[in-house]
Amino acid sequence: MLDAEVPTELARPAGLGRLLTFMFPAATAMYAAFNGVQQILLPAQVEALDPAAKVGNLALITALAAIASMVALPIGGAVSDRTRSPFGRRSPWIVVTTVLSAVLLVAIGSATDLAVLTIAVVALWFTANFYQGAFAAILPDRVPLARRGLASSVIGLGTPVGILLGVNVASRVSQLWGYAMLAVIFVIASAALVFGAREASSEGAIAPARRPRRQSEVVRAFFAAFRSTDFRLAFLSRASLSLAYFTVSGYLFYSMQDYIGAGNIPGGDVAVAVATLSTISVATWSVVAMCTGWLADRLDRRKLFVGISAAGLAVSMLVPILSPTWTGMVVYAFLSGAFIGAYFAVDLAVMSLVLPDKHNEGRDFGLLAVATGLPQVLSSVIAGALLTLFGSYIALFCFGAACALAAGLVIMRIRSVR
């Protein structure tokens, strides 16, 4: 890993291929765990425990878990920024949080009480997002500026492949086996990253400047990145896009069940239908992501790619409104997969280029990742309110489209990235 005083742009690209080779499966395993639980296992488990209150209970658990993720993400980045060990700054925390997350996954699979389930899910979201905070900081740590688009594309490809893996594993095995398999995959992929792309010792790295003593100064220093206009715009854009995504995807299981109707789904199996739509989406996502990051680097127009893809996602969310059928959902899955694939292929590169302090890149990257966690809290509350107020899932798709469009408009105002 780079010494704290060595600029990222001086990093030699010789080891980049090896690094990305092992970061890809780690990212895939992380998103497989998140999405297998969130889209399939948890909704089905919540419904089995209390069918009448499934929407409210899922909203509560999702909100609490998202709060835990918002706390864990920047802490994971900040703590790893200051870690000095023979194994580097990020690797020790990747190992610890992977093991804890695996144990919690198995515990959730065994839960038969709603309160126990809630506590375990919240704990899992904390440990897994602490992991993500340390993991995401590897990008600004070890990837040269000129290759950020390519790296973002490869790492971002882990999201659709992870979704594909997670929802298919979760929908085709029993509850306990679903959680257990996700745990095993997570452990194996993380171990491969730590040992396959070893991080340099951080023992000799120069520590960041002394922390301010007064509590008010500590808080201001922790959020110092928000003084940068481009950082604020990147945060707002990502938050808006994430709000669009989570408002719709978080209730996809119930949308298929109650809006499209189980009787209108081939085979009548909602879980398999969700897995099928996810497969279509991520297949398209993967194809687009494989070339978008490279092309954005080549043209040096990363911001433009992100803005156009956000606007395209907004358009795709209108399809289920115009065609509330299985065919309409298939078209939606195809289009949304293409645009979200283009977005996430370049998004990490844009985020990494607006970090204002190289000594606290893990912390600041974690703060940007909160732009994903915060919308999870808001999306569950907003989705519940929209369903209660309008009594229709159409409201979710309309809201998602508006937020995605806003994300595209905001990202175009960033000045330091083309």
Note the pLDDT tens digit of each residue in 366-386: 788 788 767 766 777 788 889
pLDDT mean over 400-404: 95
30: pLDDT confidence band, cut at 50, 70 and 90? very high
CA distance 156 to 160: 8
4: pLDDT confidence band, cut at 50, 70 and 90? very low
The greatest distance separating any two alpha carbons of the chain, rounded to the nearest whole angstrom, comes to 63
pLDDT mean over 349-354: 81
Directed axis angle between helix 16-35 and helix 114-136, to 10°? 160
Neighbours of 380 (CB within 10 A): 25
Note the pLDDT of residue 140.
Answer: 82
3: pLDDT confidence band, cut at 50, 70 and 90? very low
Per residue in 293-304, pLDDT (tens digit) is 777 777 777 788
CB distance 342 to 309 below 8 Å: yes
* Residue 146 in this model has a pLDDT that exceeds 90: no
Note the pLDDT of residue 189.
Answer: 97
Per residue in 244-283, pLDDT (tens digit) is 988 888 788 888 989 998 889 988 888 888 878 878 887 8
Query: Which amino acid is residue 179, in one-letter code?
Result: Y
Q: Which has more pLDDT, 22 or 10?
A: 22
CA distance 351 to 387: 33
180: pLDDT confidence band, cut at 50, 70 and 90? very high
CA distance 57 to 257: 17
Note the pLDDT of residue 207.
Answer: 55
pLDDT mean over 388-416: 91
Q: Which has more pLDDT, 249 or 397?
A: 397
Q: pLDDT > 90: what percent of the chain?
A: 35
CB distance 30 to 131 below 8 Å: yes
CB distance 86 to 203 below 8 Å: yes
Q: Which among 121, 145, 129, 3 is positioned nearest to 61, based on CA atoms? A: 121
Note the pLDDT of residue 371.
Answer: 82
CATH architecture of 14-200+226-411: Up-down Bundle (1.20)
* Residue 401 in this model has a pLDDT that exceeds 60: yes
pTM (predicted TM-score): 0.73
171: pLDDT confidence band, cut at 50, 70 and 90? confident
Note the pLDDT of residue 6.
Answer: 38
The CA-atom distances, in angstroms, between 344 and each of 28, 37, 106, 308, 416 are 13, 21, 30, 12, 19
Note the pLDDT of residue 217.
Answer: 67
Minimum mean pLDDT among 128-132, 284-288, 376-380, 386-390: which range? 376-380
CA distance 94 to 125: 14
pLDDT mean over 402-406: 95
Looking at residue 207, what DSSP letter applies? P
Note the pLDDT of residue 78.
Answer: 86
pLDDT mean over 404-412: 93
Q: Where are the domains of the chain?
A: 14-200+226-411
108: pLDDT confidence band, cut at 50, 70 and 90? very high
Mean pLDDT of the chain: 84
pLDDT mean over 70-96: 89
* Residue 44 in this model has a pLDDT that exceeds 50: yes
